[in-house]
Structure 1
């Protein structure tokens, strides 16, 4: 599929306008899943030429994502991942859970970024970081695209491992759907109910009369933020 390669335009702009020397790109995966954590990657890439084929992880095949992630591990200046568990998502709401995961990723970096590029429209991170939000940043910004691929590959691997380690999770096919909505996943939920790795404040439980009593009260999202619990399965 033809695509326009991401550039360092935003990274260079932040350097020029704010004096930021270290810029981290941030992207998340797992926001719209029914099961598993939400995972955030913070990647610092400098201004070197990006590896061939780098783009938003959603545009890459699983095989190509895995190959590219292996290259990125040795190419990025540094990167780190942070996760927020299903329990934390239920307790905090998605917006706060995203911030929790992002803070964990940033705190795990061996450097302190002077500025952060956050994929999307909404700044779920806030201070003390200097944040620049960029819609479709995973398509246009090198550091965010790198974070997108690294986050997706790592979370997919976590979900595949989860599905392969316990026989009782086999019907959910986590290795195929990574915890996202799918016909197989829905059938398994109807038959077996949610596992300890499912989000119990999510709207999917409304359509499962046998298990609806397990639903937890969801924390409302702040005005203008994406509503928690909706099916935002765009990062399959």
Structure 2
């Protein structure tokens, strides 16, 4: 009888463990070279605010890992609490998806040295950022030139630079639209639409929306894009 009770309790414990393990479908592992002590927070956006969904304490080893339940691929953030400031340089964005993701970086160049592997969505996101940075750099250059033109009261040059800025913005939005369309089978597509070109003419957002695969349409960002387009159309 005693053996039967022990066996029964063991089965319950095993079932409980398996149940808990089944709730996690994302394993994050990484290393922050040079970090000996500190706290890492894995965050997600909730109502425009970053909220911690897991905390990892670093004490002695620069390696870390976390297991999470991810209902749908989404942009997460790995925040390093340096105890000094909440600088954006302390936050690494990464497009998470179920599976195994590795994040490697350094303490001195936390954001710049970040290397994320294991997520196809993040790989595509990096490709987008690389090309999109050209438009950002061009805009900064134009702003600098316009500041000089304004200082010199060169109205003609200011008008010309304003026109170039408008053209640069249009090319940036066109690129983002085409990029989302070309990657319609990935959750990064509706994310780009919502985060980068939400204020574009709704017909372009509608085109992205209609091109999404059924899987992407049912994802978190796919549903958010549907809701956003409906809201914009109802306001007209």
Q: Same fold (TM over 0.5)?
A: no
**Structure whose residues are more often strand by fraction:** 2
Instruction: Kindly name which structure, 1 or 2, has the bigger radius of gyration based on alpha carbons.
Output: 2
TM-score, structure 1 normalization: 0.27
TM-score, structure 2 normalization: 0.27
**Structure whose residues are more often helix by fraction:** 2
